[in-house]
Structure 1
């Protein structure tokens, strides 16, 4: 419920001040019981101290009040009885609120401009621990996860810190039904979610370029606050997309309390990484704060003849709260990478070659990418019930590759036919969203209504040259071949404009029943222009439109339990042609899902159990009368059950785990056998990671972690012509908090040094990394 207007405080910008600065000596106070925000405001004014307050932290909480002669620190302690908050003294006669530490673990974040409390979490603020209670990815509003009728999993920053994760793949291994997908020669990370390949991510709720066929660049985690996964179709809020789910990266936000973190890492295969994050007030009086995230990483490989990879990351941001009704965020992000290009391991017969170190490229093959992004977000509360929001995001990326394409393995089982490719790609996109959120009641029902319009303009250009390259004996590889003369391969231009209108209503029918209804209409206008070797263009114009509905119902029979059922849809334009020259209709996805969300330990440990069926229809299939064209009869289906658990079992003991059982099949096709399993999807997969830190005694601050990650047999293509066996991997860690500011840790990956295939896909198969170690030292305040 929204905090009443007289006691509504802007996010860390409404400072409570008094003209006099009293000493810490006891004073007499008479603060009545009531709303916590009111009690704290009155006490701070009488005590003559400055206290920034966040409505998402204190809104809805009550204080028992306080009477008597007390000092300032004791007064705050009495007023905060019954909550998990504490007041911490800062420089300049200032106090800040934060959750009470549940353990002596390293706390590198203090109060964030978007709020933080375990009970009153913000959907975009930091999390303390492994359990998330709020998210915005499922509704574009700050909503409790238990009120959303769809499975949503969150990987908080503490999990990234405990596992010392440096990639999206490491982070998303903690979420059910996610497998690694096409990496485009190791230059990007893409994922299969609930059986279906994703092509892009969302950043702070805004999708990147809609024309991309894979993420533009590797995502650095230095500026990431959390990673969210909305399971199932999400077109009602995000437009075009894959039916398996949406990955949303939430970035770290500036603070009005000075804080910083520096981390240095060194590990196996010449890993060296340094990263820093700093935030604080630029003008606390005017509610202006800034932050800066930076990272540099260089890494070798266990593969033969492999060149080192490099990554550079830089991301400044600003937050401004000019008054108690207006919030402005803006930022810039730049990422640059260069690495060895590598299509991975060859398929021999019906299995992937198990010789993990064999390198089938040439030392000169490489990939270089860079991406620049800028964003602007403005929110304004017109009154107590209506909020307006405008978000603009601009992305620009380039990629250059000189690589080896592995063509076919000849009948002798050892001669690999290869080709050299010189590839250049440039992508641009500009997205703008205009939204209104209204909170009102009608007929005894409480509504939160979201109405929005989105416009997206995207461009993508691809040029490709190809050359002959000498074949390679995979059993006795001799490197050093140079490509022959390069000739024309491809010259393509893609331009797209899309428009979306969407409406969503979150309805509280009563305290136990909640209804979610939504619908979106999209119109896409796209031109694909392909030039032949003589420079003659051929155009394909695509102008689909589609309506994406969504409905869900939540029943909460007890405070700790929420049962739900939902229906959601997705769509994705296609560019394949039929024999009459028309473009195929968009692919569509439909999901039916039921589930339960349960707090195993209130405010500590939660679980989500879900069962679902997704059907992906209108897929392009080869025209049986002319293989140069397509017909629209393809269909795929995934049925599954998932269990995700995360949180704190007791003080210092954290856990995050999942298991999924998926039946992912090809249902209709003109060329492939119906019943074949979908590419890269195991029947059973999951993970379990847990850490424990000693809470007292001589070894207080010492902690241990361990986790197992597993997946069953997977096929590498829809024809099911080859496969990779299942695997299990054991990771371990040990860490020690020297004090509240400094932590040292040692993380071991694949402790048992198992050989396994981690990624299997028709575009490239990759082995999992052998046993490795990463040593880390972190310092922060």
Structure 2
């Protein structure tokens, strides 16, 4: 039995292969995040999870954190009330893709503001190092957000939702259809305006559009564009003292001022051309641009003051990201001694960014890293004596980053039931930065510059054994690299941080493929970790290991009934990490729970009624690298009810059904903890053609 051949370019996607995902993909194109090409997931020696649009609807997820919380072993967080970040398999380093195009912001500063999920068709998660496929970064894994595609068939969908305990307002709308004989379009819009129980507001307006032009049977052009407008009132949590939040501070007390904000916008566009000269060959070329400015001003550093008061120091920052990327790749499927599915490609990326430096007008001191103190406030609610505080730009840092990458991938069937998967990549990375300090009158008074570069080769190689149609075993080894932008104490450019993972896994189907089970065990280690020796001075003296076990299951015992389960055991530790603050060897990295579990089940009656219920369990974790501030384990139950009549569905979502209160979902250096939300209720009305 040979490797499957592609359908003609005009044929609809189809696959009879079992789908090895935590959330089964039904009637959809096979996810490509695991190998960059379309192939059955049972042939990929890696752990891949997929959340479909229907899964997001069933659980009432409207943002990235809410959606990815349902993937075991992945810990998403909202930091400072507006910046999205996450840990995967114990590492806070991941590659974020949108329709396969890298969002480089996450590799430079580790987090970024993100909007709502309007127009998202599915979210694909690849766990483990993936530099051989996607370049630098990503020792923990890859997250790919895939938008809905234009269709030649007219259709529409939309939703309206409102909820609490305070006020949540959400709306989405989408439409697709033909615009002539060879042209199709897709347009999606979404608005989210939420006020949480701590009176922290998050709002986003999102528009995504796409045009697909197929002038000839084997040629296709796709133009996608997106715009987001974001606003967050910021939330820097509750201060800790001796490892915990004082009991006298109410969980709904927010210490940010009325003038704190995170405001930004995002624009991007992608033009892609694909050509299938034969049924076995496909060429794809794409060019993408993006522009993302945002500004942030917030009472960020909190500490306990005298007489049950909280001290506050503020931070102001700004970023303007501009990215240009291009890709050329070719795919080939055929026989050369043995059957192959092969890919070869080249990627170029240029990131140009501005980062202003601010000063407090009232104090005339530079950000390093915190500015002047604000007026302290009492533990409990009261009039905030702090008025608005002005900022002034005293300098600017400019960054230029250029990356060239050449990559190859091949899946070969050596003999019946034995496949070899191999990927390799060579990246050339360059980085230049200039820092300007302004004198009076906003004229440059001084300038400094620095240059960094790296050349790195990475690989992934795995064997897939399929003794039966319903059974798969695999073993894989893969590497990653992360370039370093700082220098050592003696002025040397530091080597890239390196990652290496070994993984063994198995997949099985039973009961006529109604039950699917995935099991994986891995050992992931990062070396040459950069640590701080003292302020502004660095060295490579660290290493971190993560060992784990993961299991996921999908069971559809009868029609209209669906059960999903995911469990991850993550043992993450610093092997060596001696910085100026102390020696953390043997400590746990922050925000990495040892255990996490997600479960969801739903049933739809033939007459339109339906119900769903689930649970998310997050094990205990540490808020800081010293492991002195614990974040206790917690369990949250969710429930949903649905009633479908014709093309309309009325849904009721309950999160945190039993109203758990004393739990924390994110931290800032262990000095501040952000409490999780109490019980929430969301009522939604959805419609589709």
1:636-683 superposed Cα distances (whole Å, 9 cap, x missing partner): 110000112235232111122211111110111223221000110111
- The answer on whether the counterparts of 1:176 and 1:685 sit within 8 Å (CA) in structure 2 is yes
Which structure 2 segments of 5+ residues have no match?
A: 361-371, 440-444
User: Which moves more between the two structures, 253-262 or 752-761?
Assistant: 752-761
- The answer on whether the counterparts of 1:362 and 1:480 sit within 8 Å (CA) in structure 2 is no
| Distance in structure 2 (CA, Å) of the matches to 1:602 and 1:353 | 55
| Distance in structure 1 (CA, Å) of the matches to 2:73 and 2:269 | 32
**Residue aligning to 2:600:** 689
How many angstroms does 1:407 deviate by?
Answer: 4.7
Taking a change above 3 Å as real, the CA distance of residues 338 and 373 of structure 1, as seen in their structure-2 partners, is: same
User: Which moves more between the two structures, 764-773 or 207-216?
Assistant: 207-216
**Residue aligning to 1:748:** 654
- The answer on whether the counterparts of 2:24 and 2:554 sit within 8 Å (CA) in structure 1 is no
User: Which moves more between the two structures, 204-213 or 167-176?
Assistant: 204-213
SS of the residue 1:161 aligns to:
helix
- The answer on whether the counterparts of 2:401 and 2:430 sit within 8 Å (CA) in structure 1 is yes
How many angstroms does 1:341 deviate by?
Answer: 1.4
Taking a change above 3 Å as real, the CA distance of residues 471 and 4 of structure 1, as seen in their structure-2 partners, is: closer
How many angstroms does 1:207 deviate by?
Answer: 0.8
- The answer on whether the counterparts of 2:357 and 2:396 sit within 8 Å (CA) in structure 1 is yes
How many angstroms does 1:485 deviate by?
Answer: 6.0
User: Pick from 453, 460, 465: which aligns with 1:543?
Assistant: 453
**Residue aligning to 1:523:** 428
SS of the residue 1:233 aligns to:
coil
User: Pick from 373, 391, 401: which aligns with 1:469?
Assistant: 373
- The answer on whether the counterparts of 2:377 and 2:385 sit within 8 Å (CA) in structure 1 is no
- The answer on whether the counterparts of 2:5 and 2:333 sit within 8 Å (CA) in structure 1 is no
| Distance in structure 2 (CA, Å) of the matches to 1:577 and 1:613 | 29
Q: Could you say which structure has the higher strand fraction? A: 2
**Residue aligning to 2:119:** 223
How many angstroms does 1:475 deviate by?
Answer: 2.2
- The answer on whether the counterparts of 2:132 and 2:458 sit within 8 Å (CA) in structure 1 is yes
User: Which moves more between the two structures, 522-531 or 449-458?
Assistant: 522-531
- The answer on whether the counterparts of 1:10 and 1:321 sit within 8 Å (CA) in structure 2 is no
| Distance in structure 2 (CA, Å) of the matches to 1:197 and 1:322 | 44
User: Pick from 335, 340, 360: which aligns with 2:228?
Assistant: 335
| Distance in structure 1 (CA, Å) of the matches to 2:162 and 2:422 | 49
User: Which moves more between the two structures, 385-394 or 601-610?
Assistant: 601-610
User: Which moves more between the two structures, 237-246 or 479-488?
Assistant: 479-488
| Distance in structure 1 (CA, Å) of the matches to 2:475 and 2:4 | 30
User: Which moves more between the two structures, 480-489 or 158-167?
Assistant: 480-489
SS of the residue 1:641 aligns to:
strand
- The answer on whether the counterparts of 2:5 and 2:280 sit within 8 Å (CA) in structure 1 is no
SS of the residue 1:237 aligns to:
helix
User: Pick from 159, 168, 177: which aligns with 2:55?
Assistant: 159
SS of the residue 2:611 aligns to:
strand
How many angstroms does 1:132 deviate by?
Answer: 7.4
How many angstroms does 1:559 deviate by?
Answer: 0.8
- The answer on whether the counterparts of 1:469 and 1:484 sit within 8 Å (CA) in structure 2 is no
1:708-747 superposed Cα distances (whole Å, 9 cap, x missing partner): 11111111121112111100001111111112x1110100
1:276 corresponds to 2:173: yes
**Residue aligning to 1:717:** 624
1:559 corresponds to 2:469: yes
**Residue aligning to 1:629:** 537
Taking a change above 3 Å as real, the CA distance of residues 449 and 475 of structure 1, as seen in their structure-2 partners, is: same
| Distance in structure 2 (CA, Å) of the matches to 1:371 and 1:353 | 39
RMSD of aligned residue pairs (Cα, Å): 2.4
**Residue aligning to 1:501:** 406
**Residue aligning to 1:604:** 514
**Residue aligning to 2:677:** 769
How many angstroms does 1:576 deviate by?
Answer: 2.1
- The answer on whether the counterparts of 1:190 and 1:200 sit within 8 Å (CA) in structure 2 is no
Taking a change above 3 Å as real, the CA distance of residues 545 and 413 of structure 1, as seen in their structure-2 partners, is: farther
| Match runs of 1:669-708 below 5 Å | 669-670=577-578, 671-695=582-606, 700-708=607-615
| Distance in structure 1 (CA, Å) of the matches to 2:313 and 2:535 | 24
1:273-310 superposed Cα distances (whole Å, 9 cap, x missing partner): 11111101111x32x1101001112121211xx36432
SS of the residue 2:238 aligns to:
coil
**Residue aligning to 2:364:** none
| Distance in structure 2 (CA, Å) of the matches to 1:142 and 1:778 | 31
How many angstroms does 1:203 deviate by?
Answer: 0.8
Taking a change above 3 Å as real, the CA distance of residues 435 and 353 of structure 1, as seen in their structure-2 partners, is: farther
How many angstroms does 1:247 deviate by?
Answer: 0.6
| Distance in structure 1 (CA, Å) of the matches to 2:630 and 2:537 | 29
| Distance in structure 1 (CA, Å) of the matches to 2:554 and 2:394 | 49
User: Pick from 534, 546, 559: which aligns with 1:638?
Assistant: 546
| Distance in structure 2 (CA, Å) of the matches to 1:436 and 1:309 | 42
| Match runs of 1:309-388 below 5 Å | 309-352=202-245, 355-388=250-283
How many angstroms does 1:531 deviate by?
Answer: 2.7
| Match runs of 1:729-744 below 5 Å | 729-739=636-646, 741-744=647-650
How many angstroms does 1:176 deviate by?
Answer: 1.7
How many angstroms does 1:258 deviate by?
Answer: 0.8
**Residue aligning to 1:482:** 387
- Return the TM-score normalized by structure 2: 0.91
How many angstroms does 1:168 deviate by?
Answer: 1.4
| Distance in structure 1 (CA, Å) of the matches to 2:438 and 2:303 | 25
- The answer on whether the counterparts of 2:503 and 2:520 sit within 8 Å (CA) in structure 1 is yes
**Count of residue pairs the alignment pairs up:** 661
How many angstroms does 1:751 deviate by?
Answer: 0.8
Taking a change above 3 Å as real, the CA distance of residues 251 and 243 of structure 1, as seen in their structure-2 partners, is: same
SS of the residue 1:567 aligns to:
strand
Taking a change above 3 Å as real, the CA distance of residues 667 and 474 of structure 1, as seen in their structure-2 partners, is: farther
User: Pick from 565, 586, 593: which aligns with 1:657?
Assistant: 565
- The answer on whether the counterparts of 1:540 and 1:575 sit within 8 Å (CA) in structure 2 is no
**Residue aligning to 2:365:** none
Which structure 1 segments of 5+ residues have no match?
A: 12-53, 58-116
- The answer on whether the counterparts of 1:227 and 1:250 sit within 8 Å (CA) in structure 2 is yes
1:140 corresponds to 2:36: yes
How many angstroms does 1:560 deviate by?
Answer: 1.1
| Distance in structure 2 (CA, Å) of the matches to 1:3 and 1:587 | 38
1:57-94 superposed Cα distances (whole Å, 9 cap, x missing partner): 3xxxxxxxxxxxxxxxxxxxxxxxxxxxxxxxxxxxxx
SS of the residue 2:557 aligns to:
strand
- The answer on whether the counterparts of 2:666 and 2:673 sit within 8 Å (CA) in structure 1 is yes
**Residue aligning to 1:56:** 13
- The answer on whether the counterparts of 1:290 and 1:316 sit within 8 Å (CA) in structure 2 is yes
**Residue aligning to 1:398:** 293
**Residue aligning to 1:88:** none
User: Pick from 418, 437, 448: which aligns with 1:513?
Assistant: 418
Taking a change above 3 Å as real, the CA distance of residues 588 and 281 of structure 1, as seen in their structure-2 partners, is: same
| Distance in structure 1 (CA, Å) of the matches to 2:491 and 2:135 | 26
- Return the TM-score normalized by structure 1: 0.81
How many angstroms does 1:539 deviate by?
Answer: 1.5
- The answer on whether the counterparts of 2:546 and 2:571 sit within 8 Å (CA) in structure 1 is yes
